[in-house]
Amino acid sequence: MDISKYATLVFDCDGVVLDSNKVKTTAFYNAALPYGVAAAEALVEYHTKRGGISRYTKFEDFLEEIVGTKAEQKRLDKLLNDFAHEVKKGLLVCQISSGLKKLRQNTHSNWLLVSGGDQNELRDIFMQRNLVEDFDGGIFGSPDTKDTILAREIANGNIKLPALFIGDSKYDYQAATTANIDFVFAHDWTEVSNWREYCDENKLDFIDNISQLHNDATVVF
């Protein structure tokens, strides 16, 4: 796979650009802990099986499906605020993919970040970590879904084809497929335990991490 042919590169954030999957998993657990250990563990299991989906959806489902109560705004706000407070601290210090800057220097494609994370939070974090300028096509996140973002940015011409989505979750692949853009699975930081089986079943290209994308502009297998 020669990435030089792509006019646009679309990156997921957690587990691809930042080593932040564990940060968010821990934050989900701690935010849900007031509802009990069993509920918190159930949310973690739910979260890891649905990587890439927004926190808004996950906490609504947590209250309604796991706790068995209405997703009242006051309860949601408390969960979201507790989660955001812990996540922001983690995102400011977690590892940035070592190959990111070199890849940016070696490519002339348009770059977008499309994440399940909160959009305002992401833009603030990326500004503080001097990453905003790398994503010249924009930084996008929830409450819009990845499907919504990809469809909108293709329609308005910001995502120019051919495009490649670099992700680490099943939802990333599904979103890329729906948008009719190519996909490669980055597995070093993924929380998909059966990622290799999943890639084989779906005939997906995969890489360890972003650093493998800048070697002669070729994905290494």
Whole-model pTM: value is 0.86
Spell out the residues 6+ positions from residue 20 whose beta carbon is closer than 8 angstroms to its own.
13, 14, 87, 90, 91, 94
Instruction: Find where tokens 């089986």 sit.
Output: 197
Nearest CA among 202, 173, 167 for reference residue 9: 167
Tell me how far apart the alpha carbons of residues 177 and 161 are, in angstroms, rounded to a whole number: 14
Q: What is the CA radius of gyration of the chain?
A: 17
Tens-digit pLDDT profile for residues 159-210? 999 999 999 999 999 999 999 999 999 999 999 999 999 999 999 999 999 9
- CA distances (Å), 219 to each of 23, 46, 183, 186, 202, in order? 28, 31, 12, 11, 18
**Mean pLDDT to the nearest integer, 30-52:** 92
Query: CA-based diameter of the chain, in Å?
Result: 54
Domain layout of the chain by residue ranges: 3-19+96-217, 21-91
Is CATH 3.40.50.300 what the domain over 3-19+96-217 is classified as, yes or no? no
181-200 b/e (C-beta count within 10 Å ≥ 16 → b): bbbbbbbebbbbeebeebbe
Tens-digit pLDDT profile for residues 198-218? 999 999 999 999 999 964 544
**Mean pLDDT to the nearest integer, 54-61:** 91
